[in-house]
Structure 1
Amino acid sequence: MERLPKIGLPIIIGIIILVIILAKSTVTIDSGHAGVLYETLGDGVDPEKGPMGPGFHLVAPWNRVIDYETRQQEMPEKMSVLSSNGLDIKLDASVLYEPEYANLGKLHNQKGLEYSSRVLQPAIRSAARSVVGRYTPEQLYSSKRDAIQDEILEETKKIVEPQYIQINDILIRDVTLPPTIKQAIERKLKQEQESLEYEFRLVTAEKEAQKVRIEAQGKADANRILSASLTDKILQDKGVDATMKLAESPNAKVIVIGSGDSGLPIILGNN
């Protein structure tokens, strides 16, 4: 077996070391992520230095890059809180959040990669307890859910945004009440709905009755005006006109003049 030249072995070793150094010096960051550079021979992470964006990067082999996801993320959270009257309420919510891109270095130095469990989770629980404690179970179950959701969002923002975390939204998917309280609220809501329907029927009936009264009053007024305007002379003239038209009919046979009431003619005999 032919031996390698003495100078060949150091070259091979050098190439291997070079490959290792290059492998340690290259970093590829995916889309939706950013890197925080940790300088081993320096002071760690420089909070004033901007993050490394997606793409290919060269770094010193003794340094390392800490990867952060910068896209919007969802953290589901189930909480048990107390209402204003001390009843146990369970909330099923989701928090939509992302780290502040420009402040990733500060976030890493203060909270680290586990910032969601160290900051976000305690913050939303604290905000939920504070907000829900101002409402009754009935308000939580029905009319105030959207307002409560908005209030929890604002309370959470006050806590986490100074700590370099951006809250985009908080969604309350479900509110679970004690079964007896839920049934009582549903009965009350049903009774209120039935009462509103009954009141609507009463109002509708009253409007219909009012319409009939107005129409009847209009007819009565019209008849009264007509009666006041019809004198005996006018009635006689109208009777004469009607008699003349009947006399012209081929079916009229006998006309008795002056035999009717008020001296109006009477027509006798029809085919």
Structure 2
Amino acid sequence: MTFIATTLTTLISILVVLVGPKMAEEKYRTPIRAIALLVGLIAAAASVFKTLAIVPAGKVGVVEVFGTVMPRALGPGVHPVNPLGKVVQFSTRLRDIKETVTATSQEGLSLSIDVSLQYKLDPTTAPDVYQEIGKDETDILISRFRAIIREIVAAYDARSIYTDKRQEIAQRLRQEMRASLTPLGFEVEAALLRDVALPENLQAAIEEKLQAEQESQRMEFVLQKERQEAERKKIEAQGIADFQSIVSQGLTSQFLQWKSIEATQNLANSNNSKVVIMGGGVSDSGPPPVILQP
């Protein structure tokens, strides 16, 4: 309608410029022409502007002409469009929905869970989203988001949700939200499990049990370390015993006599003062000892 109005205004202004002054007095002709020309130029510029669509960065445009939606979305930039239609813009930037959902665990306990959904519109699906959902998709996404998180939480017990299954639940939530929202034209970037609030008595019991488990694991580590140390000492003692056994087997009388002779020879060759006693004692069956003194 705006294009039609500006076009008619332009035509009327042209008509006034050409014909109007002839019907007025001489002194009014120039002002009438000037005013009509100015109005005509403004209306003409508005008409031309209606044939162009400017889509800013981070958005896409959907063209609707008399209820018919064009199948191709307009990307960022300037585009020629049908002046009789309208351009509806959709954001393609990443959005974040934060929700606090009350859900029931596997054993029937009520939990309060803070979750976030990060998603964005697939630019190529903007015309379908406009026809099937409209400009505001938040209500539909939040409804699905809440239903899916409640369904997932119902498959886990409260202790698992509060402790070691949070990452697994977040991953399942992301996968199921993708399966649910992709056909609608949305891309799910992340689904985050921010916080889990349990009843106070249950939370205290779980934390106490976790502390006991950690203490038990610490003691098991200490015992394992002691067992390893005992095994090390046992191996070390066995090695010393084996060494002594091998050495004692090699200490024969001939070996000891040879070592004695070798030591005596080294001592006799030294320049220090010494007394060298060679041979056994008086009870030996061999020759009596010989005392050498330089």
Please state if 1:45 is matched with 2:79.
Answer: no
Going from structure 1 to structure 2, the CA distance change for 1:73 and 1:260 (only over 3 Å counts) comes to: farther
Percent pairwise identity: 30
Name 2:44's counterpart in structure 1.
18
What secondary structure, in the 3-state scheme, does the structure 2 residue paired with 1:3 have?
helix
Equivalent residues of 1:239, 1:264 under 8 A apart: no
Equivalent residues of 1:97, 1:167 under 8 A apart: yes
What secondary structure, in the 3-state scheme, does the structure 1 residue paired with 2:28 have?
coil
Moved more, 22-31 or 252-261: 252-261
Deviations 1:209-243 (A, max 9, x none): 11111121122122223323333444444445445
Shift of residue 202, structure 1, vs aligned partner: 1.3
Equivalent residues of 1:253, 1:267 under 8 A apart: no
1:222 maps to which of 209, 219, 243 = 243
2:55 maps to which of 18, 25, 29 = 29
Letter matched to residue 54 of structure 2 = T
Equivalent residues of 1:93, 1:173 under 8 A apart: yes
Shift of residue 149, structure 1, vs aligned partner: 0.8
Please state if 1:4 is matched with 2:25.
Answer: no
Moved more, 51-60 or 243-252: 243-252
Shift of residue 137, structure 1, vs aligned partner: 2.2
Name 1:87's counterpart in structure 2.
109
2:216 maps to which of 189, 192, 195 = 195
Shift of residue 34, structure 1, vs aligned partner: 0.8
Give the gaps of 5 or more residues in structure 1: none
Equivalent residues of 2:120, 2:187 under 8 A apart: yes
Query: How many corresponding residue pairs?
Result: 266
**Equivalents in 1 of 2:289, 2:214: separation in Å?**
69
Going from structure 1 to structure 2, the CA distance change for 1:158 and 1:253 (only over 3 Å counts) comes to: closer
1:103 maps to which of 125, 147, 164 = 125
| Greater RCO (CA < 8 Å, at least 6 residues apart) | 1
**Equivalents in 2 of 1:257, 1:52: separation in Å?**
116
Equivalent residues of 2:264, 2:276 under 8 A apart: no
Query: What's the Cα RMSD here?
Result: 3.1
Please state if 1:168 is matched with 2:184.
Answer: no
Name 1:156's counterpart in structure 2.
177
Going from structure 1 to structure 2, the CA distance change for 1:255 and 1:137 (only over 3 Å counts) comes to: same
* Structure whose CA Rg is larger: 2
Name 2:232's counterpart in structure 1.
211
Letter matched to residue 55 of structure 2 = I
Letter matched to residue 116 of structure 2 = S
